[in-house]
Amino acid sequence: MAANEQTSIWKKEIHLRRRRRRAAPPASPAPQLEPDAVATMLRPVERAPVEAPPEAEQEAAMPPVSLPAEASRPKGLRVPPAPSRPERPESVAALLHPAGEELQAAAPEPALEPAPKLAREPAQFEDVYERLALPEELAALAAPPGPARRNGKDRRERLPRAERKRLAKAAKEARHAAREAEKQAARQAKAAAAEARRAGEAERAQQAEKREQAERRRHERERGKDAQGRSTRPLKRVVGLKIGTSQLSAAVVENDGDRRVAKLARVPLEQGVVAGGEVRDPERLTAALRAFFREHGLPRRDVRLGVSSNRIGLRIIEIAAIDDPKQLANAIRFRAQETVPVPLDEAVLDYRVLDQREHEDGSRTLRVLVVVAHRALIDGYAAACKRAGLKLAGVDLEAFALLRAMAPPEERGRGGDSAFVVVGVGSERSTIAVSSGEICEFMRVVEWGGSSLDTAIANALEISPREAEQLKLGLELDAVGEAPGLDAEQAERARDAMRMEVQSFVRDLVASLRLYQEQPGSLGIAELVLTGGGAECGGLPAEIERLVGVAVRRGDVLARVRPPKKERDRRVAELPSLAVAVGLGIEE
């Protein structure tokens, strides 16, 4: 190790000399010196003698120094001839003297000879280190090693082998434990991340399931709806409710499988609550509805209300086919404004597409049934039902309910030869509904009903309308002679008054049928079906048939439903007045 350090010192010294030589200006020709001057310049420098320490101390203080062999000596290294031992310090000083350096550059270089092995002379080497003026880092490298190191090795006392093995094993175990702890922490972190991921996935899956359920419920709600948002799904149980001028009637119809009437109910309604098909006293109507449903145990959900008034218009229009539902609705409203005499901003409009026709030029047209009613009329009934705690499933026309109750759609058109006409005679008004097939194509409300016959009898016999109503049930229009509670003369006057009123009604009926037949695509009239409470007057169908000239028959209210036997036996006399309620409860 010491030999390598010494070699490095020599290399640094050579490098410094070369740098000085390259940095110095070009040397002028060496002057011719006198021999005496040369001798004076080569005279050794007088120095104070240095006491050399004893031989033993020198050996302990300085490590052995040896120069590299000639074969391994750096290229270009010039080593001066080794002087004798006593003259070595002076020769080294002369070599390092500036004047001696200039002489050496001018004089020819002597031949290199192998350098002898230097002895351990610490004082001489310290002097060389001082004259070289090496940098601090080189001096630190060249300095002799301290007492803690010898020959580059640690001189500290080492532990026994067994102790070292034990400590190494303990260190290895500690490193292994640390690695295991790190792995365990990594596994725990990975497990926590997986658990969080699973929790997040579970939460997302739960949220997705909730969204899917909400979407499914929305689709289920919208699946049975048409473009106007109306439900097209048949309800399993519907409560048909008719609010008439003189009575409230309801029918609970179960449409699941075999259509059956589960319950029928009917109660009188005070005069003045409803008049002309409109609500006149909402508070009294609300109280009557609440008591009616509570007394008969009727369901308050899925109630379908029937309305009938001259302020309701029905038209069939044709428009160009439009695929977009919103644009179709706008087009229908625009066209309905031209055909229905009701301002649309004050009305409720509903429509149904009947069919689509294609023409030779490729264009398409739609036949649309449009129904328009005054908003105040519908709002009056809806508000009373809401205050009574009823949840309406819809509002329907009494004309549509009459057609559903009297015959199925396939039997209404008579094979396309004649129209199906139903006349519902109420207390104050009569509804005329005409169908040539599946839907109602014409509707009209006539201000004539059973109360008109009561008034005619009362005027003829000079009695009250209430008394005349009781006598009307025993009078037959096609009979002669006495009647229950009347002699022959009184009975005949009453029959004549009744026939006059029936003629007035037939005139309005015929005018309505002619108005229907003026429409494009109308059919002939072959038969009239008579129903309603006013149709129970004896001989009324025969008298209308005689005046109109077409067949007239009473309709069967239970033609399409099956009521319980006890209900059929107990309410057979009231069934005609329940025709609208039963028809409202039937789903098609």
**The token pair that represents 389 in the structure block:** 């705690």
Other beta carbons within 10 angstroms of residue 421's beta carbon come to 26
Residue 304 has pLDDT above 60, yes or no: yes
Q: What is the pLDDT of residue 536?
A: 82
Alpha carbons 88 and 47: distance in angstroms, whole number: 13
Mean pLDDT (whole number) for 442-450: 89
Indicate whether 82 pLDDT > 80: no
Cα of 435 vs its chain's centroid, Å: 45
Question: What is the rounded distance in angstroms from the CA atom of residue 292 to the CA atom of residue 268?
Answer: 10
Q: Are 123 and 50 within 8 A, CB to CB? A: yes
State yes or no: pLDDT of 241 exceeds 90: yes
Distance CA 406, CA 582 (A): 10
Residue 407's pLDDT is 80
Whether the predicted pLDDT of 142 surpasses 50: no
Specify the pLDDT at position 438. Answer: 73
What per-residue confidence (pLDDT) applies to 215? 73
Residue with token string 């709600």? 221
Tell me the pLDDT tens digit for each residue of 192-224.
Answer: 888 888 888 888 888 887 777 777 666 666 555
What is the amino acid identity at position 588?
Answer: E
Report whether CATH 2.40.30.10 matches the domain 408-556: no
Name 62's Cβ contacts closer than 8 Å, sequence gap at least 6.
120, 121, 122, 125, 144
Give the confidence band of 581 by pLDDT, cuts at 50, 70, 90.
very high
* pLDDT: which is higher, 21 or 375: 375
Cβ contacts of 45 within 8 Å, gap of 6 or more: 90, 93, 94, 97
CB 245 within 8 A of CB 269: yes
pLDDT (mean) for 268-296: 92
Determine how β-strand 303-307 pairs with β-strand 524-531.
Answer: unpaired
High-pLDDT (> 90) share of the chain, %: 21
Residue entry with tokens 């070595």? 88
Q: Is 309 exposed, middle or buried (0-12, 13-18, 19+ CB in 10 A)?
A: middle
Give me the pLDDT at residue 276, please. 83
- Which of 104-118, 162-176, 347-361 bottoms out in mean pLDDT, i.e. has the lowest? 104-118
Res. 571 pLDDT band, cuts 50 70 90: low
* pLDDT at position 220: 61
CB atoms within 10 A of CB 547: 17
Between these two residues, 94 and 266, which has the higher pLDDT value? 266
Query: In the structure, what pLDDT confidence band is assigned to residue 521 with cuts at 50, 70 and 90?
Result: confident
Q: What is the DSSP string of 185-212?
A: HHHHHHHHHHHHHHHHHHHHHHHHHHHH
**CB of 59 closer than 8 Å to CB of 117:** no
- pLDDT at 572 > cutoff 80: no
If pLDDT is split at 50, 70 and 90, which confidence band does 569 have?
very low
Q: Is the pLDDT of residue 98 over 60?
A: no
For 65-113, the three-class secondary structure string (H helix, E strand, C coil) is CCCCCCCCCCCCCCCCCCCCHHHHHHHHHHHHCHHHHHHHHHCCCCCCC
Mean pLDDT computed over 171-200? 89
Query: For residue 494, with 0-12 CB atoms within 10 Å meaning exposed, 13-18 middle and 19 or more buried, which class applies?
Result: buried
Q: What percent of the chain shows pLDDT beyond 70? A: 69
Antiparallel, parallel or unpaired: β 237-243 and 303-307: parallel
Q: Is the distance from CB of 382 to CB of 388 less than 8 angstroms?
A: no
What band does 552 get if pLDDT is binned at 50, 70 and 90?
Answer: very high
**Which sequence spans correspond to the domains of the chain?**
2-151, 408-556
Q: Which of 136-140, 226-230, 368-372, 518-522 has the lowest mean pLDDT?
A: 136-140
The whole-angstrom separation of Cα 210 and Cα 81 is 104
Q: Distance from CA of residue 138 to its chain's centroid?
A: 79
Mean pLDDT of 510-535: 88
pLDDT-based confidence at 509, cuts 50/70/90? very high
106 has a pLDDT exceeding 50: no
Confidence class for position 38, pLDDT limits 50, 70, 90? very low
Q: Is 272 left (phi over 0), alpha (psi -120 to 50) or beta?
A: left
Q: Running DSSP on this structure, what letter comes out for residue 538?
A: B
257-261, 410-414, 551-555 — which is least confidently predicted?
A: 410-414
Instruction: Write down the pLDDT at residue 29.
Output: 55
- Render pLDDT for 4-18 as a digit per residue (tens, 0 to 9): 666 677 777 787 888
- Of 361, 362, 354, give the one whose Cα is nearest residue 332: 354
Out of 140-144, 306-310, 333-337, least confident range = 140-144
pTM of the model: 0.59
**pLDDT at residue number 361:** 83
| pLDDT score for 31 | 53
